[in-house]
Chains A and B, each alone.
Chain A
Amino acid sequence: MSSPRPGGAVLPAREHVPARAAVRLDGVTKSFGSLRVLDAVSFAVLPGCAFIILGRSGTGKSVTLKHIIGLVQPDEGRVFVEGDEITALRGVELSRVRRKIGFLFQNAALFDSISVGENVAFPLRRHTRLSDAEIRDRAVAKLEAVGLGQEYDKMPADLSGGMRKRAGLARALALDPPILLVDEPSAGLDPVTAGEIDDLLFGLKGNGGTTLVIVTHNIPSAKRLGDELVMLHQGRIVASGSPEELQNSDHELVRAFMSSQHAG
């Protein structure tokens, strides 16, 4: 017997949502102190699609991603992941949903007391019953996928910023999650490596049917990967659509963004 939440229905959350959306934000509003970072933001990401979030620094892109995995709670509004209302979940239920999501933090957020390889192995040790040898093999495979096959035993502090980012991506991919949230995957990478990471993400979307939500400033990459792009500005989505649609937007900032060749 579930009890009614204030302003909510008694029905379980999943019955309100079209089963199609892998991720959905519904009127999410969030303030830190007096600063309103998100103002009634709503969007839906279809399974297997790549959803790109653009916007200037400090507009709440990272905060948006953190809402999806329940690291930040909205002041108002709701967030759904594959039909579960993650904003209403606690404890084991929340963990169950989080295991479906891989998250690359903007600063990688590697555990700095364990090696790079153990960072990637960590989710496998926590959430699978694989043997040590299998875990190591899988961690090495994920590191190889991001071009860090040789760095298993290095400590995170000994990696460059771009390498940390890639190790963070390998960790996010460890459990082959159906949903992947990545915060500026190519920031700090050289153009060649950035292209390789793009290829990797493109492959995940194409072959694996992984749902991607990507925050990026790399417009060429956004155009290549994105099925749908949104532009966040002053807490609101000011434009959304296919790369072509945004290219021809009548919003000046959006056009300025879309015509940039800067890969960062």
Chain B
Amino acid sequence: MLDRAGALLSTTGDLSVFAMRAAREAVLPPYEFKETVRQVYELGARSAPLIAVSGFAVGVVLSMHTRASLERFGAEAMIPAGLAMALVRETGPLTAGLLLSGRIGAGIGAELGAMRVTEQIDALEAGAVDSFRYLVVTRVVACIIALPILTTLMNFAGMLGGFLAEAAATGMSLQLYFTRAFSLIAVSDYLPSTLKTMVFGFIIATISSYLGFTTSSGTEGVGRASTQAVVMSSVGIIVANVVLVRLIFFLFPGAAG
């Protein structure tokens, strides 16, 4: 019991050191531009279908719930705005973050884990390449770039899903729907909640890279790194979200209205 607590504590310590190193080296040159761009594509662009489809489905379901609640107050006209607000402020960022913890977290954990146990990371080092910069920093930066973009995609896909649900129920036009949807959304709703996903991106990439980098004991270890990466980054995001939302309410009182 005490052993496990000790191990957890030392992992947390190592992870913090790892994360701080990633943050520091992400801003200091030399930069690995080419590899970072490739990672934005691999981790970001290739996640777009997942995010678009999920966002759409979430939009449909949210719309049905919003309709059920607002109809009771005779406030059907508020459905688009209510849905947009729910998506932009919380559902979009958090759902995108969790989905990407799954896809990106598992991917990074397995890829770097496999590279570790097959000595490909050592081979980079032996070839005079800074493996941390080349593998970790590129993925961290790529995730920080990709998350807000994918979150925005999720929001739009969700609104599109909401529109289709609404059009099926009432025959509302696309133009009217989006006019109403955006009527209440302010910059202070969109920007802070979307930019907070940069932190999600940082959390997913550093935790998963850490677990991949420290993989040992062969194929079994790779599977464990991958699973652990998903579990730990999901929990990390949900916990960080509490702090971030609190912070946003503090910094942008308008966002709480």
Task: Tell me the A residues contacting B by CB distance below 8 Å.
Answer: 66, 69-71, 94-96, 98-99, 101, 103, 105, 107, 109-113, 122-123, 126-127, 171
Are B126 and A98 neighbours in the complex by a CB distance under 8 Å? yes
Query: What CA separation (Å) do A229 and B119 show in the bound complex?
Result: 27
Are B128 and A105 neighbours in the complex by a CB distance under 8 Å? no
Are B129 and A109 neighbours in the complex by a CB distance under 8 Å? no
Are A111 and B128 neighbours in the complex by a CB distance under 8 Å? no
**Within the complex, what minimum Cβ distance (angstroms) separates A133 from chain B?**
18
Query: What CA separation (Å) do A127 and B129 show in the bound complex?
Result: 9
Residue B125, interface by CB 8 Å: yes
Are A112 and B122 neighbours in the complex by a CB distance under 8 Å? no
Are B118 and A107 neighbours in the complex by a CB distance under 8 Å? yes
Are B119 and A109 neighbours in the complex by a CB distance under 8 Å? yes
Could you say which of B118, B123, B128 contacts A126, with CB atoms under 8 Å apart? B128
Contacts of B129 in A (CB 8 A): 95, 126
* Closest residue of A by beta carbon distance from B121: A109
Contacts of B122 in A (CB 8 A): 66, 71, 105, 109
Are A105 and B119 neighbours in the complex by a CB distance under 8 Å? yes
Q: A105-B122, A126-B129 are in contact. List 14 more A-B contacts (CB 8 A).
A: A70-B125, A71-B122, A71-B126, A96-B128, A98-B127, A99-B128, A101-B126, A105-B123, A107-B118, A109-B122, A110-B120, A112-B120, A113-B111, A122-B127
**Within the complex, what minimum Cβ distance (angstroms) separates B35 from chain A?**
11
Task: Tell me the B residues contacting A by CB distance below 8 Å.
Answer: 111, 114, 118-120, 122-130
**Within the complex, what minimum Cβ distance (angstroms) separates A178 from chain B?**
14
* Closest residue of B by beta carbon distance from A65: B126
* Closest residue of A by beta carbon distance from B124: A111
**Can you report 27 residue pairs joining A to B where beta carbons are below 8 Å apart?**
A66-B122, A71-B122, A71-B125, A71-B126, A95-B128, A95-B130, A103-B123, A103-B126, A103-B127, A105-B119, A105-B122, A107-B118, A107-B119, A109-B118, A109-B119, A109-B120, A109-B122, A110-B120, A110-B123, A111-B120, A111-B124, A112-B114, A112-B118, A123-B127, A126-B129, A127-B128, A171-B127
Query: What CA separation (Å) do A180 and B122 show in the bound complex?
Result: 16
Query: What CA separation (Å) do A94 and B122 show in the bound complex?
Result: 14
* Closest residue of B by beta carbon distance from A96: B128
Are B123 and A111 neighbours in the complex by a CB distance under 8 Å? yes
Query: What CA separation (Å) do A109 and B124 show in the bound complex?
Result: 9
Query: What CA separation (Å) do A45 and B58 show in the bound complex?
Result: 66
Contacts of A70 in B (CB 8 A): 125
* Closest residue of B by beta carbon distance from A66: B122
Query: What CA separation (Å) do A112 and B224 show in the bound complex?
Result: 20
Q: Which 5 A-B pairs have the closest CB atoms?
A: A95-B128, A109-B123, A109-B119, A98-B128, A103-B126
Are A69 and B126 neighbours in the complex by a CB distance under 8 Å? yes
Contacts of A95 in B (CB 8 A): 128-130
**Within the complex, what minimum Cβ distance (angstroms) separates A65 from chain B?**
10
Contacts of A69 in B (CB 8 A): 126
Are B127 and A126 neighbours in the complex by a CB distance under 8 Å? yes
Query: What CA separation (Å) do A101 and B125 show in the bound complex?
Result: 11
Contacts of B120 in A (CB 8 A): 109-112
* Closest residue of B by beta carbon distance from A71: B122
* Closest residue of B by beta carbon distance from A181: B126
**Within the complex, what minimum Cβ distance (angstroms) separates A96 from chain B?**
8
Contacts of A98 in B (CB 8 A): 125-128
Query: What CA separation (Å) do A112 and B129 show in the bound complex?
Result: 17
Contacts of B111 in A (CB 8 A): 113
Query: What CA separation (Å) do A113 and B114 show in the bound complex?
Result: 11
Contacts of A101 in B (CB 8 A): 126
Query: What CA separation (Å) do A98 and B118 show in the bound complex?
Result: 20
Contacts of B124 in A (CB 8 A): 111
Contacts of A103 in B (CB 8 A): 123, 126-127
Query: What CA separation (Å) do A126 and B35 show in the bound complex?
Result: 12
**Within the complex, what minimum Cβ distance (angstroms) separates A156 from chain B?**
10
* Closest residue of B by beta carbon distance from A106: B119
Contacts of B118 in A (CB 8 A): 107, 109, 112
**Within the complex, what minimum Cβ distance (angstroms) separates A135 from chain B?**
14
Query: What CA separation (Å) do A94 and B129 show in the bound complex?
Result: 10
* Closest residue of A by beta carbon distance from B111: A113
Query: What CA separation (Å) do A111 and B123 show in the bound complex?
Result: 8
Query: What CA separation (Å) do A94 and B111 show in the bound complex?
Result: 26
Contacts of A127 in B (CB 8 A): 128
**Within the complex, what minimum Cβ distance (angstroms) separates A169 from chain B?**
13
**Within the complex, what minimum Cβ distance (angstroms) separates B215 from chain A?**
15
Query: What CA separation (Å) do A69 and B122 show in the bound complex?
Result: 10
* Closest residue of A by beta carbon distance from B123: A109
**Within the complex, what minimum Cβ distance (angstroms) separates B40 from chain A?**
16
